[in-house]
Amino acid sequence: MTRSTRMAIAAATIAMISSTVAAKDPAWCGEDAIRDGTAAIIARDSAGLEAISRRYLSQCKEADSKDRASALENLAIALDMRGDARGSLRESIKCIETSYRMPGCHVQKAMAHLALSEKSKARVALDIADSVISQQWDLAMASAEKPGADKVLIDAELNKLTSLIQLSARVRKDLQ
């Protein structure tokens, strides 16, 4: 997987984080968190993305499970970029435990297993990722047809899912 693909996935994830109320700094947990994360992604700054993800997880306690899972996914991506496969696996598992429906968490888990030379575990995680991607695609398409649907949010979700489909295919190729 290329670094730009990882960063594109992280950017799409950060773009989907909704505004939430936080215990320590409610203003930062909304637009500012998104802007900070986007800046780290554009700069290709894995350490910055890691710090922002950790800050979000510690300060934005009132965030919903999907937003917290997105932060965990970004943390897993940052750790992967820094070569910490064990850390990436740990955060991917936390992400899945927080919100199973987040396909990027499953893809990151597969990538971490692959980096740790655990090919059979990587295949299982990738099969699950492909199933979750398919389910989320179907849900997004169904949502798009509803009156008053937020087309921008749905387009962002479909763009992320498309990136994950491509990433999954590359990981599967590396497993052969």
* Per-position pLDDT tens, the chain of length 176: 566 666 666 656 655 543 333 334 566 787 788 788 878 878 889 999 999 999 999 988 888 888 889 899 999 999 999 999 999 999 999 999 999 999 999 999 999 999 999 999 999 999 999 999 999 999 999 999 999 989 898 998 999 999 999 999 999 999 98
Nearest to 1 by CA among 85, 70, 72: 85
CATH of the domain at 66: 1.25.40.10
d(CA 112, CA 88): 6
Rg, the chain, Cα only: 15
Q: Based on the structure, what is the number of domains in the chain?
A: 1
Supply the DSSP symbol for 146.
S
The pLDDT score that the predictor gives to residue 4 is: 62
d(CA 72, CA 74): 5
The pLDDT score that the predictor gives to residue 27 is: 67
Burial class (CB in 10 A: 0-12, 13-18, 19+), 82: middle
Nearest to 95 by CA among 116, 110, 115: 110
d(CA 63, CA 56): 9
Number of residues that make up the chain? 176
125 is in which domain, residue-wise?
3-175
The pLDDT score that the predictor gives to residue 5 is: 65
3-state secondary structure 16-82: HCCCCCCCCCCCHHHHHHHHHHHHHHHCCCHHHHHHHHHHHHHHCCCCCHHHHHHHHHHHHHHHHHC
The pLDDT score that the predictor gives to residue 1 is: 59
